[in-house]
Chains A and B, each alone.
Chain A
Amino acid sequence: MATNILEVNMYRYNPEEDKFPYIKQYQIEKPAKDIMVLDLLHLLKEQDESISYRRSCREGVCGSDGMNINGKNGLACITPISSVLKKNKIELRPLPGLPVIRDLVVDMTEFYAQYEKIKPFLQNSTTAPEQERLQSPEDRDKLDGLYECILCACCSTSCPSFWWNPDKFLGPAALLQAYRFLADTRDLKTNERLEDLSDPFSVYRCHGIMNCVSVCPKGLNPNKAIGEIKKMLLKDKKEIITTDGAMN
């Protein structure tokens, strides 16, 4: 009997009613076939209309439903319950480290602010040709593994360095995009971009903890991108030293 019942422990908080957040336990019959965590949330919401969470595409491309599932960040819509169940139990919490608006919904203002800081748009002030700017397939390949980011915030909110300095350390998601534009042969502001990243916090607070890599639902590797940025910053510094001559 007991094996047919799922126990879902959910973080609940409604700022208009609750002084403090609490964990609410739901019992639900285990569905006959494996379903996604998002489907489970839909079933629970039919029981209890007051549950709040974000969702949109339900196929892992829009990045709305990042949450902490049994201790690990992931997208509810592409996480099968079979992959996270522990003794028929699931614990659902909001993404860690950001202010909670309600239940599983976090305030992502800080996360988006860091994204905007890296100037996430192509900068090229040369006159655009009548057709497209050319780019070789090899150069275009350099953007693979970078441009696919869906801004779900699973990585940045799993990063202890981001928890510690969410205003000064850009976090893995923003840094992945910083490198996406550094790597793009069509972008001409490489030096300015590097200059913006050269302070002790923006990039250098990454200590290679690698939580970002282990949680990214798109299989991307922000840690590698950060490594590339660090290499570029070092090279940049060396060049400055060499051309300057004074420090030789």
Chain B
Amino acid sequence: MTNYNSSNIKTLEFDALIIGGGGSGMRASLELAKSGLNTAVVSKVFPTRSHTVSAQGGITCAIQSADPNDDWRWHMYDTVKGADYIGDQDAIEYLCSEGPKAVFELEHMGLPFSRFENGRIYQRPFGGQSKDYGKGGQAARTCAAADRTGHALLHTLYQNNVKEGTNFLNEWFAVDIVKNAQNEVTGVIAFSIEYGEVAYLKAQSTVMATGGAGRIYASTTNALINTGDGLAMALRAGYPAQDMEMWQFHPTGIYGAGSLVTEGCRGEGGYLINKDGERFMERYAPNVKDLAGRDVVARSMVLEILEGRGCGENNDHIYLKLDHLGADVLNAKLPGICELSRTFAHVDPIYEPIPVVPTCHYMMGGTPTNINGQAFNRIDRTDSIIPGLFAAGEAACVSVHGANRLGGNSLLDLVVFGRATGMFIQEDLKSGGGVKSADKDDIDNALDRLNTLNNSDSGYETAEVKKELQQCMQNYFGVFRRGEFMKKGLDELQEIREKVDQLHLKDKSNAFNTSRVEAIELQNLFEVAEATAIAAYSRDESRGAHARDDFPDRDDERWLCHSLYDPLSKTVSKRDVNFNPSEVEAFPPIVRTY
């Protein structure tokens, strides 16, 4: 194939470019489209096919509907504790205090929330939620549209972007960041999946809203498209990633299929049982039982299985019992779960328990940003803003989830920080902010990878290498981790790296060539997996989702901090956690029990 270079591809120019058409991307674009800036959303799928659509249980926020005395500070306390104290408290304060505004806006846009009798938004209990800073019992703080909240949210955002006339580049795939000599980000190289046309998408501000990368694991609740494209692009451009060892394993993925079963099931009164029918969470979390933090529940399930009390022929899964809730509750509150369970587990939850197993679900780490969505680098132990680069949502690490995200906080993260990023860019560009242009060499450099792949005439097959990578991550970097095993995993990753660099793209055609997309996605997955592995090996303590057999205790003296992975040296350094919220006193770290 002919090589692409800066003189044979076209340039499309925008004020702001948003990579990713999920919740955070479309919340940011809505803000920008309303402001009149020339904005484009680049999405590798039609926006309503983004992974936000799969979110089920709801969006957690102290809107004082279920409880008129609810307080965003209680939500903040729960989130700080859930994060095992390495969430940044200024960001968590912003998330929880701005949250109600962002949720009411969604309702005004038309999101079909479920309702209480008084007409207000329905809220259900979720794990890790409390009243009065953990002293007042279980709270019900998760706003829901049945068990299809993500679908309702994503469609509502798309609809409002249609209303505001947002410019969409649908089924365009971003390949690499273009940066200029000043190390500023000036846009991306992308191609149209439909026709294969390659272009330099030039912008003053580029927002990575590309979601998570759960596909680094063999077993995940994530969509096939969750390949960490934005984070990988940033890593390849030499920018750091934060807290990459922190991956959430959701307690209830459908055994065998991986599809998510919402925590809302347990919020509505469902519970987990082992092969003896025992409600075992009573032993691990005597106070809140099945509504402990997700990391705690997932580990308890794995321990039950390891100790021989798992269910099924091979004692390798756990049952989620719902039948006692009755058909009426299940059909009204959890209709989507009933549907998924019948399709993928061949089980009707009205009569039988659902077989479930902890499954990779969410990436707490990501590109480090401040609360305006500005990405930063670490230079001489201080944060240094990367001009032109932003991140929001799961791709970003702002960090509100720390070492473990609470259920329902991801949708809130999307809308609060998507909105904040859009508002900041709007003000920044209107007050003369922006970046210098890239020159020809900068653009050519960003085309390298695409050219190499297009010219490959031998090498490894994407599907095979992908399986190897996913199995390696699953084996060595799962729910429980151990130094010696991880070392083995790191060695395997070295071998996989060579293969990933030598993928053979047999099909060189231009029209809807999904093989080309999948090859680049695999390279992206690899960058994220490597960052994960190196960060996990470095953190020699157990905290939140990162549980090490060989270092079972939390070590606040050494590790009450973020890990920052530098892709150039492939080393991890430490970065302070923010303990300076502006309106409330910081919550100091205490022992985390449920």
CB distance from A242 to the nearest CB of B (A): 32
Q: B113 on the interface (CB 8 Å rule)?
A: yes
Given contacts A58-B224, A120-B162, A147-B112, contact A132 B120 (CB under 8 A): yes
Indicate whether B555 reaches chain A with its CB closer than 8 angstroms. Answer: no
Asked if B582 CB lies within 8 Å of chain A CBs, one says no
Say whether B45 faces chain A, with CB atoms less than 8 Å apart. yes
A69 to chain B, nearest CB (A): 15
Interface: B109 (CB within 8 A): yes
Contact B509 A54 (CB under 8 A): no
In the complex, the answer to whether A53 meets B514 with C-beta atoms within 8 Å is: yes
A101 within 8 A of B: yes
Q: How far is the CB of A85 from chain B (nearest CB, A)?
A: 17
B510 interfacial contact with A, CB 8 Å: yes
Q: How far is B224's CA from A133's CA once the two chains are assembled, in angstroms?
A: 36
Q: Are B48 and A151 in contact (CB under 8 A)?
A: yes
Interface 9-mer from B147-155, B528-536, B557-565? B147-155
**Residues of the A chain whose Cβ atoms lie less than 8 Å from the Cβ of B63:** 131-132
Of B49-57, B177-185, B418-426, B438-446, the segment with at least 4 beta carbons within 8 Å of chain A is B49-57
A63: CB under 8 A from chain B?
yes
Nearest-Cβ distance from residue B209 to partner chain A, whole angstroms:
16
Question: Are B114 and A121 in contact, CB atoms less than 8 angstroms apart?
Answer: no
The answer for the CA separation of A176 and B174 in the assembled complex, in Å, is 34
Q: Is A128 interfacial (CB 8 A cutoff)?
A: yes
Pick the contact of A49: B48, B54, B100, B507 (CB < 8 A): B507
For chain B, the count of residues having a C-beta within 8 Å of the partner chain is 58
Query: Residues 72-113 of chain B: 1 if any A CB is under 8 Å from the residue's CB, otherwise 0?
Result: 000000000000000000000000000010011001111011
Q: Which of B163-185 contact A (CB under 8 A)?
A: 163
Tell me if A244 is interfacial: C-beta within 8 Å of chain B. Answer: no
- Bound CA span A60–B509, Å: 29
- Assess whether B116 is interfacial by the CB under 8 Å rule: yes
Q: Which residues of A contact B152 (CB under 8 A)?
A: 147
- Return chain A residues, CB-CB under 8 Å to B513: 52
How far is B152's CA from A61's CA once the two chains are assembled, in angstroms?
A: 11
Mark the stretch among A9-17, A155-163, A204-212 that contacts chain B: A9-17
Q: Mark A33-51, 1 if CB is under 8 A from B, else 0.
A: 0000000000001100110
Contact at B108–A133, with CB atoms within 8 Å? Answer: yes
Residues of A within 8 A of B53 (CB): 57, 61-62, 150
A23 interface residue per 8 A CB criterion: no
Contact A61 B54 (CB under 8 A): yes
**CB atoms of B45 and A121 under 8 A apart:** no
Contact of A108 among B46, B104, B159 (CB under 8 A): B46
A–B Cβ pairs within 8 angstroms, 12 of them: A14-B511, A16-B509, A57-B53, A60-B339, A61-B148, A62-B53, A103-B512, A122-B110, A130-B104, A132-B108, A140-B112, A148-B151
Q: A49-B515, A147-B112 are in contact. List 4 more A-B contacts (CB 8 A).
A: A62-B51, A112-B46, A135-B119, A184-B112
